[in-house]
A = this chain, B = another copy of it.
Amino acid sequence: MQPFISLLAPQRDTSSPLYLQIANSLVSAIRSGHLLPGSKLPGTRELAKQLKVHRKTVIAAYNELYAQSWTEVLPQKGTRVARNLPEIKAKTWSKEPDSSFEGTITVPFYKMPPPSPFTPMHPVITPHLILDEGIADNRLAPLDLLFREYRSRLKHSYTNRTVQGALAAGSPLLRESLVPYFGETRGLSIQPSNILITQGAQMSIYLAASLLIRPGDYVLVAEPNYFLANKVFEQLGAKLLKIPADDQGIDLQAAEICCKKHRISMMYVIPHHHHPTTVTLSPERRMQLLELSAKYNFAILEDDYDYDFHYSSTPYLPLAGSKHNGRIIYLGSFSKLLSTSVRAGFMIAHKDFIDQVLRLRVLIDLRSDHLLGDSLAALINNGDLARYVKKANKIYHHRRDKLCELMDQQLKGAVNYKKPDGGMAVWVKFNPEYPLKDISVRASAKGLYLSNGEIYNTEQTSYNAVRIGFASLNTKEMEEAVQILKQAIFG
């Protein structure tokens, strides 16, 4: 027995409970053949004494072994190592085993049009600092509160008490709590049946566009536009009609010329802080857009992802809050508001449209994480979300001003920008003598990631511009980042 006991001596490390350490040592001893199938284990009292641990710890270890099928319990006789060990050894059956995915693919498959917007990088880049295109600061968002709610729901047996098919549109609790929430924050008067919970704004765009666009249809977009929205529409076979925009937003006279020439199915619009340029659509243009949409009967996909963050002004009520006869599909996301790791977006539309979208959604993605949805609902209902939005507005306001101040001081002569009303990023245009392609490489060598701006370019135009997010960095980080950027620009 002595050599066997020495194998079991627990390390008393802090990473796993003592009983689990003992159980794992026993598993190792069984696996390595030190303990043979059928051999009797010492009594719990005896082993506890030998290992100098409480007997309860040994009992817990034995229970664990039994639960994992490593042991059998003999009435009146104690525990022995199972005669049929529980290792799941999968059966081989192939004449030509070849577990790799190397070589050349022989079957035909559809190739997606280049360029690839994102490619996974190996090794993954974890630079010292990142100037992102505008994401929330995980450190400010009430993620600890969100996951406290999450954890408390994990244990409830009711998590198995909902018919799974009923969750296809998202957490019922979240859809219910969004009714008063969108009433208060956006003046919308809706029902749960008008709401679909998605994994984020991108999925909302894809789903809505899939029902609105048939191959060959004409779609109006601003130029430049959110590049992944354009890619969705093109993927669905749309012909994009790119409309110029000024500091009031999209040029609706140019849009009407298109409407006269072609039957338009849909227009995509980002009314607050257009991506990438951060321009806000003016009230006059909003009115004109609604009139145009009614006159030519096209749908409006209103992507209001940036509604919550305003510093120099208050937001405008959504287009969806005006008379539109179901022509408007309104969408946004909690991922932008809270954290990129929180996957939850929404679509608000006419019930008949939601009913159809739902059918497509289950084909693409059965359902979202309903416990996350329930937890978000709790944060909405108890006011935590509204408190966070207030706080974040104050802090991000300060960070926007700080970034602009730093750019004025440090990057003078190289960049120009217009301070955005709100949102999380500044659209920074670099002067032609400072190509972003080179600056990005030089910054990267100094530990700062900055996009080279290629994702914003179109076939027609190279903008030599980039969105610089200010929300995710604190003052110190921002000072350091702009300092590196300065060196990358001026050498």
Contacts and interface: CB of A to CB of B under 8 A. Distances in A.
B116 A358 contact: yes
16 contacts: A89-B314, A91-B314, A91-B315, A93-B287, A99-B320, A100-B190, A101-B348, A101-B349, A101-B351, A109-B299, A120-B172, A125-B163, A126-B162, A135-B164, A199-B343, A202-B363
One complex includes copies of this chain to the number of 2
Nearest to A165: B118
Interface stretch (A3-11, A142-150, A402-410): A142-150
A353 to B, nearest CB: 6
Contacts of A120: 166, 168-169, 172, 175, 192-193, 358
* Closest A-B pairs by Cβ, 9 of them: A105-B326, A118-B165, A93-B283, A112-B359, A94-B322, A120-B169, A98-B323, A96-B323, A99-B189
Contact of A202 (B99, B135, B362): B362
A362 B117 contact: yes
Interface string A163-195: 111111100100100000001011111101110
A117 B351 CA distance: 17
Contacts of A127: 161, 163
A317 B92 contact: yes
A122 interface: yes
A122 B214 CA distance: 32
Contacts of A190: 99-101
The size bracket of the interface on A is 35 or more
Contacts of A83: none
A461 interface: no
Interface stretch (A40-48, A51-59, A251-259, A368-376): A368-376
Contacts of A206: 363-365
Nearest to A91: B316
Contact of A110 (B125, B356, B371, B393): B356
Given A122-B193, A343-B369, A390 B187 contact: no
Interface string A274-295: 0000000001001100100000
A69 interface: yes
A416 interface: no
A355 to B, nearest CB: 7
Contacts of A147: 147, 150-151, 154
A94 B383 CA distance: 29
A211 interface: yes
A342 interface: yes
A384 to B, nearest CB: 9
Given A96-B290, A119-B165, A202-B363, 20 more contacts: A64-B387, A91-B314, A98-B324, A99-B321, A101-B320, A106-B297, A106-B325, A118-B358, A119-B358, A124-B162, A127-B163, A132-B164, A138-B159, A144-B151, A159-B341, A199-B343, A199-B368, A228-B362, A343-B368, A365-B365
Nearest to A356: B112
Select the residue from A105, A360, A394 with max chain B CB neighbours within 10 A. A105
A68 B143 contact: no
A460 interface: no
A74 interface: no
